[in-house]
C-alpha cells in the first residue's frame, strides 16, 4: 500500500497523523540524495539541531547514571565478527566485506564486539564493576533498497548504545536501572510505550545453541520485568542471536509497532571474547554483558518525535526556540543584538525581519517556534520584548534579559510546558 496515502487518511484522535518523511522535507530537517544512496539520509541544520540536543540529553542522563562514554571505529576485521558470532548468525544483515590487502574489513552490524575488546584491553578488578560503557555510534545494516524510507528504514544507524560489564549477581539490578532510565527518558520526550515485550528465541539456526544460557538469561529478565512492575508479554522469534531481551514497543501514527528501547542480558559474548575480571579471591571470573539502548537509534527516535509533535517540538528540542520579530526596519539592529544575546546564552534564535512580510505573515510563518519576541519602537528603546507563545498566549512586554532567563530555565528542564507564571530564580 502507498504509505503516504494511508497516513494522509488516518486520524489520531481528531488530529491527522503526520508522516515524518513529508514533514521532514517540509520543515527542512533531513533529506536523501540518490547519489549518496537510498537509506542514507543526511541531516539539514534544523534536523541536526534536534539530533544534537537529543544526543546531549541522553549523554547527560547516562553520565548521571554512572556511564562513561567511549568512541570506537565503525568497521572492523571480519575475524572480529566471527568471534562475536555475528558472522554465523547475522551475516545476511551485514554489508559484504571489503578487501584491503590481505585483510577483509566489515562495516559493523553492532557496537558490542568493539566494546568487548575495549573491556578486554585492560585488566579489571571486581571493584570496578559494574563498568558501564556507553557510545552513540554508527552501525550498518544491508537493508534492500525496496524497504528503505525516511528515517525509519536506513542502512546507516546511529545507535544510543551501552554495555554494562558486571558480575552475574549484579546483572538484574543493572537491567532494572536501565529500564528505569528508559522510563525517565520516555517521560521527558513525551514518548508512551504501547507494551513491554520479553523477546525469546524461535525456531531455526538464527540463535546460538546453548539451552542453559537461554534459561538463565530468560529467568533474569523475567525477574527484572516483575520487579519493575510493568505488564509484559513474551514473544518467540524476537530475541537477539546471543540472548533474550526486553523490548520497549512504541507505535507510530498508523499504529505500526516498533522497538525503540531494549535491555538484554548476554552470557554468550563474554565467553566468546574470553572476558574476565579478578574477583575477591584473586581468581579470574567471567563477567555478564548487559546491552541496553535508552532511546534506540537517533533516526528512529527523531522520526517518532516528528510524527508525535507534528513539527511543534517541546521548546528544549525545537530547532529555533526564539524568533525575533522587529516591527519595522528601525528595530532590526536591536533584533540582531538580542539574537546574539540569545546565542550567547545557548538559546537557538532567529530574526524574521520586515523583508519577510507583514508582522501577521511572519507570526504565521513562525507558528512552530515556541517563543516569538515582538520588538516595536518602545520595546527597542527599553530593551524589552513582547512575547507570544506558540499556544497563542500573549505576555506583557518584559525586560529581554528576564525573558531569556525564564526561557532558559524551561529549556534546561527539558519539560513540555511553554511558560511558568512564577518569576525565574
Residues that bind Zn ion (CB under 5 A): 112, 291
Pairing label, strands 371-375, 288-293:
unpaired
Name which of 270 and 326 has its Cβ closer to Zn ion: 270
Quote the least distance from Cβ 163 to Zn ion, whole Å. Answer: 6
Q: Which of 399, 408, 374 is nearest to 388 (CA)?
A: 374
Contacts of 316 (CB under 8 A, 6+ apart): 53, 57, 410, 411, 412, 413, 414, 415
Quote the least distance from Cβ 131 to Zn ion, whole Å. Answer: 14
Largest CA distance in the chain: 77
Quote the least distance from Cβ 66 to Zn ion, whole Å. Answer: 18
- Cβ–Cβ under 8 Å, residues 264 and 240: yes
Quote the least distance from Cβ 111 to Zn ion, whole Å. Answer: 6
- Helices 171-189 and 45-64 sit at what angle, rounded to 10 degrees? 140
Question: How many CB atoms neighbour CB 387 within 10 A?
Answer: 23
Tell me how far apart the alpha carbons of residues 238 and 231 are, in angstroms, rounded to a whole number.
18
Quote the least distance from Cβ 293 to Zn ion, whole Å. Answer: 8
How many Cα neighbours within 13 Å face the side chain of 211? 0
Quote the least distance from Cβ 99 to Zn ion, whole Å. Answer: 27
Tell me how far apart the alpha carbons of residues 10 and 30 are, in angstroms, rounded to a whole number.
24
Quickly tell me which residue has 559493523 as its cell.
108
Name which of 76 and 314 has its Cβ closer to Zn ion: 76
Contacts of 229 (CB under 8 A, 6+ apart): none
Name which of 139 and 347 has its Cβ closer to Zn ion: 139
Name which of 112 and 369 has its Cβ closer to Zn ion: 112
Name which of 240 and 325 has its Cβ closer to Zn ion: 240
Name which of 19 and 266 has its Cβ closer to Zn ion: 266
Which 8-state DSSP code applies to residue 374?
A: E
Quote the least distance from Cβ 242 to Zn ion, whole Å. Answer: 9
Tell me how far apart the alpha carbons of residues 297 and 71 are, in angstroms, rounded to a whole number.
16
Name which of 197 and 384 has its Cβ closer to Zn ion: 197
- Cβ–Cβ under 8 Å, residues 27 and 311: yes
Name which of 112 and 380 has its Cβ closer to Zn ion: 112
Name which of 112 and 373 has its Cβ closer to Zn ion: 112
> What does residue 198 show for φ and ψ, rounded to 5 degrees?
-90, 105
H helical segments located in 229-329: 268-272, 298-309
Name which of 112 and 171 has its Cβ closer to Zn ion: 112
Contacts of 270 (CB under 8 A, 6+ apart): 116, 165, 286, 287, 288, 289
> What does residue 253 show for φ and ψ, rounded to 5 degrees?
-60, -25
Cell of 134: 556507553
Quote the least distance from Cβ 409 to Zn ion, whole Å. Answer: 37
Quote the least distance from Cβ 116 to Zn ion, whole Å. Answer: 9
Name which of 38 and 84 has its Cβ closer to Zn ion: 84
Quote the least distance from Cβ 289 to Zn ion, whole Å. Answer: 7
In which order are the strands placed within the sheet that holds 75-77? 75-77, 103-107, 98-100
Cell of 218: 530468560
Quote the least distance from Cβ 269 to Zn ion, whole Å. Answer: 8
Amino acid at each position: 500500500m502507498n504509505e503516504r496515502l494511508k497516513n494522509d487518511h488516518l486520524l489520531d484522535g481528531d488530529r491527522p497523523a503526520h508522516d515524518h518523511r513529508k514533514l521532514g522535507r517540509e520543515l527542512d530537517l533531513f533529506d536523501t540524495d540518490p547519489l549518496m544512496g537510498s537509506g542514507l539520509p543526511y541531516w539539514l541544520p534544523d534536523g541536526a539541531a534536534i539530533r544534537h540536543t537529543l544526543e546531549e540529553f541522553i549523554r547527560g542522563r547516562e553520565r548521571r547514571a554512572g556511564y562513561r562514554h567511549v568512541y570506537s571505529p565503525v568497521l572492523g576485521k571480519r575475524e572480529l565478527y566471527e568471534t562475536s558470532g555475528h558472522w554465523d548468525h547475522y551475516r545476511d544483515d551485514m554489508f559484504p566485506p571489503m578487501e584491503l590487502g590481505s585483510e577483509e574489513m566489515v562495516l559493523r552490524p553492532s557496537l558490542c564486539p568493539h566494546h568487548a575488546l575495549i573491556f578486554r584491553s585492560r585488566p579489571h578488578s571486581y571493584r570496578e564493576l559494574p563498568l558501564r560503557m556507553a557510545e552513540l555510534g554508527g552501525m550498518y545494516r544491508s537493508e534492500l533498497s525496496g524497504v528503505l524510507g525516511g528515517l525509519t528504514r536506513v542502512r546507516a544507524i546511529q545507535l544510543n548504545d551501552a554495555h554494562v560489564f558486571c558480575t552475574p549477581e549484579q546483572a538484574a539490578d543493572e537491567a532494572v536501572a536501565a529500564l528505569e532510565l528508559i522510563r525517565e527518558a520516555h517521560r521527558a520526550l513525551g514518548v508512551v510505550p504501547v507494551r513491554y515485550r520479553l523477546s525469546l528465541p524461535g525456531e531455526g539456526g538464527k540463535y546460538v545453541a546453548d539451552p542453559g544460557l537461554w534459561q538463565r538469561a530468560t529467568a533474569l529478565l523475567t525477574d527484572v520485568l516483575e520487579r519493575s512492575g510493568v505488564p509484559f508479554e513474551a514473544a518467540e522469534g524476537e530475541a537477539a542471536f546471543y540472548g533474550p531481551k526486553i523490548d520497549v514497543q512504541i507505535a507510530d501514527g498508523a499504529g505500526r509497532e516498533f522497538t525503540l528501547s531494549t535491555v538484554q542480558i548476554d552470557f554468550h559474548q563474554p565467553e566468546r571474547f574470553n572476558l574476565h575480571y579478578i574477583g575477591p579471591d584473586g581468581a579470574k571470573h567471567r563477567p555478564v554483558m548487559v546491552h541496553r539502548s535508552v532511546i534506540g537509534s537517533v533516526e528512529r527516535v527523531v522520526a517518532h518525535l516528528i510524527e508525535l509533535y507534528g513539527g511543534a517540538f517541546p521548546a528544549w528540542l525545537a530547532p529555533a526556540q526564539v524568533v525575533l520579530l522587529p516591527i519595522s526596519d528601525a528595530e532590526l539592529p536591536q533584533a540582531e543584538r538580542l539574537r546574539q544575546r540569545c546565542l550567547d546564552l545557548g538559546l537557538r534564535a532567529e530574526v524574521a525581519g520586515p523583508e519577510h512580510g507583514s508582522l501577521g505573515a511572519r507570526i504565521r510563518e513562525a507558528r512552530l517556534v515556541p517563543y516569538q519576541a515582538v520588538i516595536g519602537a518602545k520595546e527597542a528603546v527599553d530593551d524589552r520584548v513582547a512575547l507570544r507563545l506558540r499556544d497563542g498566549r500573549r505576555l506583557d512586554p518584559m525586560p529581554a534579559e528576564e525573558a531569556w532567563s525564564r526561557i532558559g530555565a524551561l529549556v534546561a528542564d527539558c519539560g513540555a510546558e511553554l511558560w511558568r507564571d512564577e518569576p525565574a530564580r
